[in-house]
Amino acid sequence: MNKNRATYVLGALVVVAALLACDAGTFAAFANATATPTRTPRPTFTPRPTFTATPADSPTPADTATPVATVTPTKRPAVVATARPPTAKPVVQPPAAPSFPVVLANAFFCPQPPTAPYWKLTARFNPANSNAWLGGYVMGVFGSDGAFLKASEPSMENDFTETLDGNCQVSSRYRSNAEVDVTELRGQLPLIVRVIRSKTDRTALSADFRADFPQPGNYYFQYNPR
């Protein structure tokens, strides 16, 4: 029994010596059982809002009148329109004069002495290139309104001698083959004279001639039937 006690005491001393040989940390490690560390979850970091100080409103400076530049409008040069030449109007040709079968080749007036006044129309009908007398032509006399007034007898196929000694253009006796006295028509002047078919058929065979009779006298006509 004492032998075992001595063994226990010796073992205890060895243990104490071993413990003394270790440092305090090792001893503490042996003294304290190694516990399995428990992982403590870290709290989630929520950033705190940062409050930024609002700067004090600076006083708005009073409006300073900014000079506005006056823009002078640029004067554009006047646009001068180029005048277009006028469009030439088509020349309207006058209607052709009607063609008549009898041409008035000549007409003239001869005044008569006031001692024996009369108003008369005297004519001669000849071809243009011959002195042959052509009969059957009638001189018609009309008023300025176109009304028929009088007609000569048909021209004769031979001439008759003018009762006067001559006229203002012919020194010898004037030869003719038709005449009409219009003395009674002197109050209806001017008279329109034209050759017509007959006293009843007044179709114009020649152009009109205006007989004004500025004084008593005789109109002489030269007609050339074609």
pTM over 0.75: no
Span 187-211, average pLDDT:
97
Which residue pairs from 142-147 have beta carbons closer than 8 angstroms and sit at least 24 positions apart in sequence? 142/191, 142/192, 142/193, 142/194, 143/188, 143/191, 143/192, 144/188, 144/190, 144/191, 144/192, 146/192
Q: What is the pLDDT of residues 140-189, one digit of tens each?
A: 999 999 999 999 999 998 876 555 555 677 655 667 899 999 999 999 99
Please confirm whether the linkage preceding 190 is cis (ω < 30° from 0): yes
**For the chain, domain boundaries:** 102-225
Quickly count: other Cβ atoms within 10 Å of residue 114's Cβ: 8
Range with lowest mean pLDDT among 38-42, 206-210, 218-222: 38-42
> In angstroms, how far is the first alpha carbon of the chain from the final one?
202
- Per-residue confidence (pLDDT) for residue 116, from 0 to 100: 80
**Structural tokens at position 88:** 């030439």
Amino acid at site 165: D
Span 67-96, average pLDDT: 69
pLDDT value of position 185: 97
Q: What is the predicted pLDDT for the residue at 152?
A: 96
pLDDT at residue 219 is higher than 90: yes
**What one-letter code names the amino acid at 164?**
L
Fold assignment, 102-225: Immunoglobulin-like (2.60.40)
Per DSSP, the three-state class of 120 is: strand
User: What would the pLDDT profile of 29-80 be if each residue is shown by its tens digit?
Assistant: 545 555 555 565 565 655 565 555 555 555 565 555 565 556 566 667 666 6
pLDDT confidence of residue 20? 58
User: Rounded to whole angstroms, how far apart are CA atoms 122 and 168?
Assistant: 13
Mean residue pLDDT of the chain comes to 77
Secondary structure (H, E, C), 198-209 = CCCCCCECCCCE
Look at 4 and 169; give whichever has higher pLDDT: 169
List, for residues 100-122, the tens digit of each pLDDT value: 999 999 999 989 877 888 899 99
27 pLDDT exceeds 50? Answer: no
pLDDT band at residue 191, thresholds of 50, 70 and 90? Answer: very high
21-33 mean pLDDT: 51
Q: What is the rounded distance in angstroms from the CA atom of residue 125 to the CA atom of residue 181?
A: 18
- Please tell me the distance from the alpha carbon of residue 141 to that of residue 184, in angstroms, as a whole number: 12
